[in-house]
Structure 1
Amino acid sequence: MWSPKWRRVADDGAADGKGFNSLFGEILDWMLAPLLFLWPISIIVTHNVANSIANQPYDQALAVNVRAIARLVRVEGSQARVNFPAPARLILRADEDDTVYYQVLGFKGELVAGDKDIPTLQTPDSVVPDVVLFRDESIAGEDVRVAYQYLQPDAAAPRRLVLLQVAETRNKRSTLASRVVTGVLLPQFAIIPIAVILVWLGLSRGIAPLNQLQRLIRRRRPTDLSPISVSNVPEEVRPLIIAFNEMMARLEENLQAQQRFIADAAHQMRTPLTGLRMQSDLALMETDPAQIHRSLQHISQSAERASHLINQLLSLARAEASYEKIYAVERVDLEALLRAMLTDFVPRARQKAIDFGLETTGGPLVIDGNPVLLAELLKNLIDNALKYTPEGGRVTVRTLATEKAIVEVEDTGIGVPEADRERVFERFYRVLGSSESGSGLGLPIVREIAELHRAHVSLNPNPAGRGTIAQVVFPRSRPTPEETAAQTTQALTAPGATQFPPA
Structure 2
Amino acid sequence: MNLLHLLLRPSLVRRVSMTLLLASLLIWVVLMAYYYWQETGQRATTTRQRERAELVVAVLAKIDDVEQVRNGAKLYSALFNAPYQRAGLPENFLLQLEDRQGQVLFSSAAGGKRLLKGVAGNVIENEFNGERYHVYRAESGAWVLLIGEPVTSPGWLLARLSSNLTMSMIISFPLLLLPIWFAVTRGMRPLKLLSNRIAARGPDDLSPLEFNVEYAELSPLAAALDRLLDQLRTKLSREHGFVQDAAHELRTPLAVISAQAHVMMKAETPEERKQAGTHLDAAITRASHLIKQLLDLARIENDEAHTTERLDLCQLLRQALAETVPIATEGNIDLSLEAPDELTRQIDRNAFLSIVHNLLSNALHYGHEKKLDAEHQRGEVHVELILLNTVVMLSVADDGPGIAEAERALVFERFYRVAGSDKSGSGLGLAIVAQAVARLHGRVRIESGLHGRGCRFIVELPLQ
Which TM-score tier does this pair reach, normalised by the shorter chain? 0.7 to 0.9
How far apart in 2 are the matches of 1:424 and 1:255? 22
Report the equivalent of 1:311: 292
Q: Distance in 2 between matches of 1:39 and 1:290?
A: 102
Q: Equivalent residues in 2 for 1:143-158 (5 A)?
A: 146-149=135-138
Please, which moves more after superposition, 182-191 or 435-444? 182-191
Query: What is residue 434 of structure 2 aligned with on the other side?
Result: 447
- Structure 1 residue 313 displacement after superposition: 0.9
| SS across alignment from 1:464 | helix
**Does 2:340 correspond to 1:353?**
no
Cα 1:419/1:205, change in 2 over 3 Å = closer
- CA shift, 1:264, in A, is 0.3
User: Following TM superposition, by how much is the alpha carbon of 1:183 offset from its aligned partner in structure 2, in angstroms?
Assistant: 8.2
Task: Give distance in 1, aligned partners of 2:462 and 2:162.
Answer: 71
Kindly state the Cα deviation for residue 45 of structure 1 after the two structures are TM-superposed. 5.0
- Tell me which residue corresponds to 2:86: none
- Give the AA of the match of 1:356: L
- 2:216 aligns to what SS in structure 1? coil
| Offset at residue 434 of structure 1 (A) | 3.5
Structure 1, unmatched stretches of 5+, are 1-8, 72-83, 122-126, 154-161, 172-177, 479-503
Asked if the contact 1:406–1:474 (Cα under 8 Å) also holds between the matched residues in 2, the reply is yes
Is the alpha carbon distance of 1:117 and 1:209 closer, same or farther for their aligned partners in structure 2, counting shifts above 3 Å?
Answer: farther
Partner in structure 1 of residue 11 of structure 2: 22
Q: What is the total number of aligned residue pairs between the two structures?
A: 427
Alignment check: 8 A CA contact 1:359 1:397 kept: yes
TM-score, normalisation: structure 2: 0.75
Letter in 1 for 2:206: L
Q: Is residue 246 of structure 2 the alignment partner of residue 265 of structure 1? A: yes
Q: TM-score, normalised by structure 1?
A: 0.70
**Is 1:468 matched up with 2:459?**
no
Q: Which residue does the alignment assign to 1:399?
A: 385
Once the two structures are superposed, residues 450-482 of structure 1 have per-residue CA deviations (whole angstroms, 9 ceiling, x without a partner) of: 2333433333333515x413222314426xxxx
Distance 1:45 1:434, change over 3 A: closer
Q: What does 1:344-383 align with in structure 2 at a 5 Å threshold?
A: 344-360=323-339, 362=340, 364-365=342-343, 369-383=347-361
The match for 2:226 among 222, 227, 245 is: 245
1:39: which partner in 2? 28
SS where residue 364 of structure 2 aligns? helix
Which residue number corresponds to residue 174 of structure 1? none
| 332 and 26 in structure 1: CA distance in 2 versus 1, 3 angstrom threshold | farther
Structure 1: how far apart are the matches of 2:145 and 2:272? 140
Residue pair 1:66, 1:132 contacting (<8 A) in 2 also: no
Give the match's secondary structure for 1:378.
helix
Deviates more, 1:469-478 or 1:258-267: 469-478
Q: Tell me the SS of whatever aligns to 1:474.
A: strand
> Taking structure 1 as reference, are residues 168 and 411 closer, same or farther at Cα in structure 2, changes over 3 Å only?
closer
- Contact between 2:57 and 2:139, CA under 8 Å: does it hold in 1? no
Q: 1:476–1:211: structure 2 CA closer, same or farther, 3 Å change rule?
A: closer
The residue aligned with 2:399 is 412
Is the CA contact 2:98–2:145 (under 8 Å) kept in the aligned structure 1? Answer: yes
- The structure with the greater share of residues assigned to helix is 2
Identity %: 27
Aligned counterparts of 2:116 and 2:231: Cα–Cα separation in 1: 86
The Cα of 1:237 is off from its aligned counterpart by: 1.1
CA distance in 2, matches of 1:238, 1:210: 11
CA contact (8 A) 1:135 1:145 kept: yes
Structure 2 CA distance for partners of 1:328 and 1:182, relative to 1, 3 Å:
closer
Q: Distance in 2 between matches of 1:20 and 1:113?
A: 69
Tell me the residue number matched to 1:343. 322
Q: Classify 1:19/1:396 alpha carbon distance in 2 versus 1 (closer, same or farther; 3 Å).
A: farther
Counterparts of 1:155-234 in structure 2 under 5 Å?
165-167=146-148, 188-234=169-215
Instruction: Give the alignment partner of residue 265 of structure 2, picking from 277, 281, 284.
Output: 284
Q: 1:200 to 1:418 in 2, by over 3 A?
A: closer
Please say if residues 105 and 113 of structure 1, whose CA atoms lie closer than 8 Å, have aligned partners that are also in contact: no
